[in-house]
Structure 1
């Protein structure tokens, strides 16, 4: 049963990536929720996924989303600082 579930979850990942034209590096929150839904649908009712394990997965995804958002913000700040430095250098040459 675990192999079947793993294959179906992997299939959902491949389908999601193929339909949206994105690679595995750019899976988002919607993709995570689709995978979680498939995982829950395919689990053995007599041996369900442990609540702690599911919460740990959700916490990891939330943490990853926060880090990605922080990286994007820092990139924007770096671009603005580069522009400010260029502007300052141009003004000092005049």
Structure 2
């Protein structure tokens, strides 16, 4: 398998730290990384199927959590507009 010498952040992003570079990755970036990984793997020693499925499951879970967060923010905004409140009190 060919080793990747460096990883560059997505085009158009200018992170202030290496942590920010990876927090801006989205589904398209994931699919690009996945297809690049598959295209560059050694045909005599392919990627372990269990590892590939684990990566896909983690990404699917993350996408679901992000969608739930978006939906809850929308619902919260709708409730706030109906009740006239501007935030959640603890």
TM-score band w.r.t. shorter chain: 0.7 to 0.9
Structure 1: gaps of 5 or more residues: 88-94
Give, in whole Å, the separation in 2 of the partners of 1:20 and 1:77: 31
Q: TM-score, normalised by structure 1?
A: 0.70
Cα-Cα RMSD: 2.1
Question: Which protein has the bigger helix share?
Answer: 1
2:52 aligned residue: 54
SS in structure 2 of the partner of residue 65 of structure 1: helix
Written as runs of structure 1 = structure 2, the 5 A alignment for 1:60-75 is 60-75=58-73
Give, in whole Å, the separation in 2 of the partners of 1:69 and 1:26: 16
Moved over 4 A (4+): none
Aligned length: 79
Structure 2: gaps of 5 or more residues: 15-20, 86-90
Specify which structure has the bigger relative contact order, considering alpha-carbon pairs within 8 angstroms and separated by 6 or more residues: 1
Q: What is the CA distance between 1:24 and its match in structure 2?
A: 2.6
Give, in whole Å, the separation in 2 of the partners of 1:56 and 1:84: 42
